[in-house]
Structure 1
Amino acid sequence: MAAGVTRKKLIEVSIPLEAINAASAREKSIRHGHPSTLHLWWARRPLAACRAVLFSQLVDDPSAWPDRFPTEEAQDAERRRLHDVIRRMVEWPDSKPADRARFDDAIEAARFEIARSVAWSLGEEPPAKGNGKAILDYLQAKAPPVYDPFSGGGSIPLEAQRLGLRGYGSDLNPVAVLIGKALVEIPPKFVGRPPVNPKGQAELQRGGQWNGKGAQGLAEDVRYYGQWMRDEAEKRIGHLYPKAKLPDGSEATVIAWLWARTVRSPDPAAHGAMVPLVSSFMLSTKEGKKAWVEPIIDAKAPEGWRFEVKTGKLSKTEEEAKKKGTKTARGNFACLLSGVGISEDYNRAQGKAKRLGVRLMAVVAEGNRGRIYLTPTIDDEHIAASAQQQWEPEGDLYEKALGSRVPAYGLTRWADLFTPRQLIALTTFADLVSDAREKVLADARVAGLKEEKTPLHQGGNGATAYADAVATYLAFAVDKATDRNTTLCAWESKMDRMRNTFGRQALSMVWDYAETNPLSGAGGDIAGTAFAVFEVLSKLDNAGIGAIANIDAAKNSFPIRPIVISSDPPYYDNIGYADLSDFFYVWLRHSVNQIWPDLFRRLATPKAEELVATPYRHGGKADAEAFFMQGMSDALTAMRKAATDSEPLAIYYAFKQSELSEEGITSAGWASFLQAVIGSGLLVDGTWPLRTELANRMRGQGSNALASSIVLVCRKRSADASVITRADFMRALKRELPEAIDDIRKAGVGPVDMQQSVIGPGMGVFSRHAKVLEDDDSSMSVKTALALINRVWEEIDQALDTNFDAETQVALAWYASYGFDARSSGDMIVLTTAKNTSDKSLFASGVFKDMKGKVALTPREELPKGWSPATDKALTVWECVQHTARTLNAEDGGGEAAARLVSDMGSKAADARALAYRLYEIASQKGWSAEALVYNELAQEWPKLEELAPTAGTRRAETKAQAELF
């Protein structure tokens, strides 16, 4: 194929969704050394998904090279091979060297595939497979650079680098920019350099040459100076964190102090006493280690009550009562002294009037084999009250900001989120960043680092820039400590540990909070957070060039072009990044504003330009949507102009859970986003649903949780695109969607994601035309197009039912009405008459069972073992599906046994796969979650079963032949 010709890329045809989704979900649970743990950023795309999408954007689909892959069978085989490359490279390695080596080999294989596609497009041969350096050099010189203009947490440019590409990004938010620089831009400047700290230098002098890989030297310095900061902080503020006195007279390190907010009781009978607002009195719910707070009414105690810590056994009824604390409902409590209700409105009013107090509930200390819970003393409270901070972060929380709920309770300033003792600790840490930088600079000079005074923000890479780099990562360690040192940190009784501030993507009120000891070695300890940063840096593999800039996406002129666009834009009105990130900005401004003066010149992050449809910032819902549409259209238009012609653009979109449950695929946010995409001159070439979030995450329980991500695959629309009518559009959908749906199923997309996947080819029809005209000559809206695509998809699915054998049609109709329930025989006669079959045929096939006056579909667990399509003389599609589903999940079955069934189905295999999708739709609509799960899993596994089918059939034939010999 000639150079310059547009070739289909793998992402436009087929990607192994199941493997990508599984790796993405698993990645969210990795806590040590993963790049996402360097610094918190909200709704960050998993690296596995970014890596797979980038690879598939750059690697040609086999159909692009008919001279090399001349038949459909050859193309399918090559796709399966490329899918296997993706499966191996999306798995994040464990800490074992062998796992890391396998991951490195997988990345090396992925780089070769990209280089091969680039070389073929240029009419060249790629470097030899296995020659890592040559492949990397080739990619740096010949492959197009990748750019994400909404780079956020930096996942996409980082993965571009990992694949050997040049990775660029930009963001309006300075916190995001610094995270991106710390991941993408800074480490390559100091690759291969040994640590400069005295301990590291002494070891070098004893052992000779530095053999560390990547930025491990930089990582070692972050760990060393983080420990120095912790030790220095203890000298300055250690008196505020005394040891706990144990009942036996010994001492123990305090892990945390657990506080309850208090409010003046509205009940006159309480005589104005301050009473506790406690969501749970349980401290530990672990079996054999239960501990709780017992509120004691005591006239001699302050306010007439006190707390006492108890341990031992509780009945289930007692434990449930303790778990309720004094809370009666969301934001509502009961007075401890009288039982009178304390409303949320009352608590809010008292909070805004600055009348909320606190009382220490318990002290958590470190024991030999777990936590020790202690009753607090007066001294514990007095020491905390003695803390007097000299500095506090400036700025106010915006009361109406997305995810900011605490201003309603009077926590209106950033400083209000911290106790005085926390403010002293965090300010000490932030101040020590500058002190540590001076030590690094002095030690770097002693270590012989070149005396270049150009700072890091101006591109330097000498001693000054190196000190700036270490200080930047230490500031991140302070930020990680800040997330664990607020009055919004809760104690998790199930785990005996504290939950950090951003357990969810919001600043939510916590009534009984945990104040950690930042010098204890537990959560929030500056040495520990610096070690977490060290773990990330020591494992980074920045193979390619990279840079991150502070640019408004709507005004980005893209000085680097042409580029491959892979981007994760903001999600309409889902997350207020700017408002939330001010939590970190106010501390970073204190610690590194001299190192990054351009990023931290403002008092807060930019808000007005942020591309989020926030009504409170733009004068109402309509104006907010107009702002979002205009800004996103400008940004997408700039992307289109800067993008290459040879690679598609990949743009992520994440649905809110409320969008899917209330409005489906025609939701305002989704339709507005698609409208902006199409209005910018792009056509949608495909949509891939990526399940990138853990199902059990905290946001998953809320109304605005990210339910699933969609990757839109886009191309530039032709300048001479035609105008068609609504009728033309409908005809094109009915003509093109059946084949597209079949291809989507072949790719392994499960039924649960079909609705979103069908959007791709449907919107491809809509968006390749300049306009689709309604009957009144007005332009069809995206929202209308989405509804029509959905309607045609449903019609096609229902029309497929008539392709099934009569017995299966009866079973399908029965299932839709009654499931597996037994009904009167007369109900079956009605269906068999309509489908021109008989009850005898249905009983003979085994689809139904005769219950003498009643009938029912044969349950899967009652199906005969050893069944085979090859020997069934009355074979039905229904049996194929039910037997395969049973075998796939049976102890005596599994994938290979199920694959043998698929192998023996012959031409009915395609119908069986289609039936699995239909059954999922019915089960899902009926709310039969367990049944829906069975068919979704079967449909997702079907491509694998088809791959296994030939070998499974061969092995069975060999086994049979051997048996006959003996």
Structure 2
Amino acid sequence: MAPKRKLIEVSIPLDEINKQSAREKSIRHGHPSTLHLWWARRPLATARAVLFAQLVDDPSVREDEFIAEARQKGYEDPEGWAGHRIKQERERLFDLITRMVDWDNLGDEALFDAVRAEIMKSTNGNPPAILDPFAGGGTIPLEAQRLGLEAHASDLNPVAVLINKALIEIPPKFAGREPVFPGAAGTRTNWPKATGLAEDVRRYGDWMRDEAQKRIGHLYPKATLPGGGEATVIAWIWARTVSCPNPACGIEMPLVRSWWLGKKKGKEAYIVPRVVGSRVEYGMGHSAEDAPAGDTDGTVGRTGATCISCGAAVDLSYVRAEGRAGRLGRDLIAIVAEGGRARTYLPPNASHRAAAEVDRPDELPEGAIAEQALGFRVQAYGLTEWADLFTNRQLVTLTTLSDIVSAVRDRALGDAQLALAGVGERLETGGSGAAAYADAVATYLALALSRMSDRHSLLTTWDSGPKKEYERSVFSRPAVQMTWDFTESNPLGGAGASFDASLAWLVKAVERLPGHNRGVVDAADAAARNFDSLLISTDPPYYDNIGYSDLSDYFYVWLRRSLRDIHPGLFSTILVPKAEELVANPYRHDGADGARRFFEHGFEQVFARARHSTSGDYPIAVYYAFKQSETDEGGDASTGWETILGSMVRAGWQVTATWPMRSELATRIRNIGSNALATSVVLSLRPRPEGAPITDRRGFIAAMKRELGPALRELQQGGIAPVDLPQSAIGPGMAVFSRYARVIESDGSEMTVRSALARINEVLDELLTEQEGDFDPTTRFAIAWYRSNGYDAGAFGDAENLARARATAVSAMERGGILSARAGRVQLYRPVDLPDDYDVTTDQRTSAWEALQHTIRIQEAEGIPAAGAFLHDASRRSDGAVDLDLVKELAYLLFQVAEKNGWTKDAISFNGIATSWSELLDSRRTAMPVSIAATLDFDTLNE
């Protein structure tokens, strides 16, 4: 018996999922991503929705049941009734997903009980355990656990493994326990989830900070204010220096990207350099009129530097050579101190320079930076060891805090022994007693320290933006790149870069973790691990986008120093393992071709193993991002995208759906006209049956034409935005392609994935064009005229010929109010030019074109409720209602036309109507008289 189709294979409320995914970027407090940095995490909302849709049956599997129900009730059209019930059930599930993905509803246990009940119903009470074999930042395993599923995570990278343990493995072990720190429990009796553990991490973290203050507090002196008194320093701003190569000058010239410190209007602040003899002194400026700008702002750019004293141009090759020779210096150029509601900026002084002059610690984290790595630029300047990325003062601080983690662990063990029975096994060997608990507390504190290190390096810079004025992190983007002026923040000052702040972010994240259901995390190579009895939902590496292993060494060296006695197996190597990392790294695999072959072979190996282990009862889900593109004689392409699709098809998988997932909705169609691809796509896959047939190009295209048409209408009816339609249509198109063992081209060669994607796009264009036959003559004319002219004017003769071919006339359409015909020129009215007093109930004949244009006009001017009321009137006309399905269909069609012609503003309007369609229909319902609305349900309104 064929497995049941799941929701992910038919339709999902994509726009609502994407809206919540985009919203997550502005949510920080308590978000799991604040536990510790990881690159390219998927939004929680996306992962939650995808997991639910993988497991829950699409209502179409109940068609026979609904038909039988209709017959039992004596309905005349059982099939029509079944279709109605399927839509109704799908809308119910969509509503559940829409509420479930909303961050504000994460604490709604009644909602999540209903979500879990739906999963249990579709899985016969025995849902599969979920595995992400490329777990990374842990989004998918965490959301699986939130949905009441057994979550498994594995990764080759020890930092990723530790993050996943902190998210899903450690919290359930100690869920519901009260804290052990003396006096922490107080009179509180209820400690749900991991709140007791979180409270202990907070308390022991405070003790750790106080201990650090005793040992190294003197290294971070307060600043003396101009009017007297002292203030805590937030940061010290330094400039790298190099000797001017001009023999007549030789000054230690500062290398500064920008002199600005704060750009808040009325409170501007910037550094004013002044050459005094053979050195540079620095003061503060606050006058907006005298502020640095253009060539006067900074001394170094992309190609070189300028000496502040003699004006000599200095090539960056000279700077690099000086760096490799160990001759790059640094000079303090500003001090940032607390100052009430604003920062206080002060010039440097000798005492603060002296405070930073400390000896390098004897015991430093070991490890060399790779000579070449994706996203790395610092090696060319002589920074070759990981310890080279920190000032001596930062090294002293980080090693001191790292040493204190061990002291905290000992203290927590003593306290835990008093609260828990016996010492028990260590955390790494599966324990849950006092020893394991102390290990857990130390693990989170080491993560807080590692998290803090992202803002404590000589690669951090100061952001002078009017709403910012704080240090940027090292990894504001996934790269390790050289900076000129850099920020040394105060780790004990209490501001955003302090240990206190890092600890607070981490604790808030731990408090909100689900903390229930078993979580299993392993350090494992995806190409070698076991997949038996596990359902895959995974977000694998994105070709050559990010060099995870090289980047994560930055954190690994500090985590290893703190935790190698607590997690000896995880931190057994000097640096993160790299040889088997599934990334297309040209530096590691003999250039671009070798990298592509390595990635392709590795990916195919992973999914071939998974193919042999799967039961096929549920579709697997694979996320993939579009980042790499190239152009050749075959057109635009995405190397990574084609590689992953080809690897999965060859490994025996059949694509059943593709869903574009976006977390940047504000710029969704910024690249219209460039064939830009979505942020990422989720692929749903099933095992391809053994003995799958072979077909030729003609058979493949014929099958697509048969199947893509119904799929296209289903996608449109399901609320897929026009901007997302091409990527969504890849799913049913690739479903046809991947069901065959091979597709043979006319020359006898095997069809490539690139060729298949091109054929899918061609058929999609044909189908959208064929939809024109469904429209009235006026609309068919307007589509054809718009395709050629947009809203610009064209020759009257051309318009009249086009109109006659569609059984209408220009004069009739002019009287109908969709165009103007003057001086031998014909021009369609833009929505904004249509009359505000148009009454659709008295118009003798309203075309789909006219209805859409007025809907756009009203929605953009007055909002969705007014536009919904207009559609209500249009659909209830006594002399013939406007077919609203065709109005929506027209919006999809015109979006494609506008996109291809690069008419971005028009495309946004058409996309806006389609994406807000369900809201427009809801508004239409509320616009009805109560006596009518009471007799209709949502699904019959459009019939």
Q: What TM-score do the two structures reach when normalised by structure 2? A: 0.92
TM-aligned CA distance change 1:808 to 1:319, over 3 Å? farther
Matches within 5 A, 1:85-100: 85-93=96-104
Partner of 1:364: 336
C-alpha separation in 1, matches of 2:609 and 2:758? 29
- Note if 1:80 corresponds to 2:77: no
- How far residue 11 of structure 1 moved from its aligned partner, in angstroms, is 0.7
Matches within 5 A, 1:796-945: 796-823=767-794, 825-826=796-797, 828-865=799-836, 867=838, 869-891=840-862, 894=865, 896-897=868-869, 899-900=871-872, 903-904=875-876, 906=881, 908-945=883-920
Q: Which residue of 438, 442, 450 corresponds with 2:410?
A: 438
Q: What TM-score do the two structures reach when normalised by structure 1? A: 0.90
- Note if 1:8 corresponds to 2:5: yes
Matches within 5 A, 1:500-649: 500-558=473-531, 561-649=532-620
Q: Which residue of 14, 26, 31 corresponds with 1:29?
A: 26
C-alpha separation in 2, matches of 1:750 and 1:505? 31
- Note if 1:258 corresponds to 2:237: yes
Partner of 1:108: 113
Partner of 2:220: 241
Q: Which residue of 142, 148, 164 corresponds with 1:158?
A: 142
- Note if 1:731 corresponds to 2:715: no
Q: Is the CA contact 2:15–2:915 (under 8 Å) kept in the aligned structure 1?
A: yes
Give the secondary-structure state (helix, strand or coil) at the position aligned to 1:196: coil
Partner of 1:286: 264
C-alpha separation in 1, matches of 2:276 and 2:667? 42
TM-aligned CA distance change 1:947 to 1:63, over 3 Å? farther
C-alpha separation in 2, matches of 1:838 and 1:693? 44
Q: Is the CA contact 1:902–1:946 (under 8 Å) kept in the aligned structure 2?
A: no
TM-aligned CA distance change 1:537 to 1:800, over 3 Å? same
Higher alpha-carbon deviation: 23-32 or 662-671? 662-671
TM-aligned CA distance change 1:587 to 1:881, over 3 Å? same
Q: Is the CA contact 1:298–1:306 (under 8 Å) kept in the aligned structure 2?
A: yes
Q: Is the CA contact 2:869–2:924 (under 8 Å) kept in the aligned structure 1?
A: no
Matches within 5 A, 1:642-721: 642-656=613-627, 658=629, 666-693=637-664, 708-721=679-692
Q: Which residue of 247, 261, 271 corresponds with 1:268?
A: 247
Q: Is the CA contact 2:678–2:724 (under 8 Å) kept in the aligned structure 1?
A: no
Q: Is the CA contact 2:145–2:517 (under 8 Å) kept in the aligned structure 1?
A: yes
Q: Is the CA contact 2:3–2:617 (under 8 Å) kept in the aligned structure 1?
A: yes
- How far residue 795 of structure 1 moved from its aligned partner, in angstroms, is 2.0
Q: Is the CA contact 2:628–2:640 (under 8 Å) kept in the aligned structure 1?
A: no
C-alpha separation in 2, matches of 1:663 and 1:154? 38
C-alpha separation in 1, matches of 2:205 and 2:591? 46
- How far residue 577 of structure 1 moved from its aligned partner, in angstroms, is 0.7
Percent identical residues: 47
TM-aligned CA distance change 1:425 to 1:795, over 3 Å? same
C-alpha separation in 2, matches of 1:194 and 1:342? 62
Matches within 5 A, 1:443-458: 443-446=415-418, 448-458=419-429
Partner of 2:173: 189
C-alpha separation in 2, matches of 1:51 and 1:234? 42
Partner of 1:135: none
TM-aligned CA distance change 1:903 to 1:175, over 3 Å? farther
C-alpha separation in 1, matches of 2:820 and 2:191? 69
C-alpha separation in 2, matches of 1:783 and 1:949? 44
Unpaired runs of 5+ residues, structure 2, are: 68-81, 935-943
Q: Is the CA contact 1:563–1:644 (under 8 Å) kept in the aligned structure 2?
A: no
TM-aligned CA distance change 1:659 to 1:211, over 3 Å? farther
C-alpha separation in 2, matches of 1:323 and 1:172? 48
Partner of 1:782: 753
- How far residue 659 of structure 1 moved from its aligned partner, in angstroms, is 6.0
Give the secondary-structure state (helix, strand or coil) at the position aligned to 1:309: strand
TM-aligned CA distance change 1:936 to 1:262, over 3 Å? same
Amino acid at match of 2:656: D
Q: Which residue of 312, 325, 338 corresponds with 2:310?
A: 338
C-alpha separation in 1, matches of 2:771 and 2:275? 71
CA deviations on 1:586-621 (whole Å, 9 max, x unpaired) are 111100011111110001111110111111111122
Q: Which residue of 47, 56, 65 corresponds with 2:62?
A: 65
C-alpha separation in 2, matches of 1:657 and 1:923? 25
Q: Which residue of 363, 382, 388 corresponds with 2:354?
A: 382
- How far residue 728 of structure 1 moved from its aligned partner, in angstroms, is 0.4
Amino acid at match of 1:486: S
- How far residue 679 of structure 1 moved from its aligned partner, in angstroms, is 1.0
Partner of 1:393: 365
Amino acid at match of 1:19: E
Q: Which residue of 188, 193, 201 corresponds with 1:214?
A: 193
Amino acid at match of 1:557: N
- How far residue 642 of structure 1 moved from its aligned partner, in angstroms, is 2.6
TM-aligned CA distance change 1:750 to 1:55, over 3 Å? same
Amino acid at match of 2:509: V
- How far residue 802 of structure 1 moved from its aligned partner, in angstroms, is 4.0
- How far residue 279 of structure 1 moved from its aligned partner, in angstroms, is 1.3
Give the secondary-structure state (helix, strand or coil) at the position aligned to 2:345: strand
- Note if 1:40 corresponds to 2:37: yes
- How far residue 833 of structure 1 moved from its aligned partner, in angstroms, is 4.7
- Note if 1:325 corresponds to 2:298: yes
Unpaired runs of 5+ residues, structure 1, are: 94-98, 120-137, 960-966
Higher alpha-carbon deviation: 925-934 or 427-436? 925-934
Amino acid at match of 2:260: M
C-alpha separation in 2, matches of 1:263 and 1:915? 64
Instruction: Count residues in correspondence.
Output: 910
- How far residue 350 of structure 1 moved from its aligned partner, in angstroms, is 2.3
- How far residue 268 of structure 1 moved from its aligned partner, in angstroms, is 3.4
- How far residue 820 of structure 1 moved from its aligned partner, in angstroms, is 2.4
- How far residue 113 of structure 1 moved from its aligned partner, in angstroms, is 1.0
CA deviations on 1:870-914 (whole Å, 9 max, x unpaired) are 543232221122111222222265363355267459563233222
Amino acid at match of 2:90: R
CA deviations on 1:531-569 (whole Å, 9 max, x unpaired) are 2111111111133221111110001123xx322211111
Partner of 1:118: 123
Q: Is the CA contact 1:227–1:526 (under 8 Å) kept in the aligned structure 2?
A: no
Higher alpha-carbon deviation: 488-497 or 898-907? 898-907
Cα-Cα RMSD:
2.5
TM-aligned CA distance change 1:818 to 1:778, over 3 Å? closer
Give the secondary-structure state (helix, strand or coil) at the position aligned to 2:66: coil
Q: Is the CA contact 2:19–2:665 (under 8 Å) kept in the aligned structure 1?
A: no
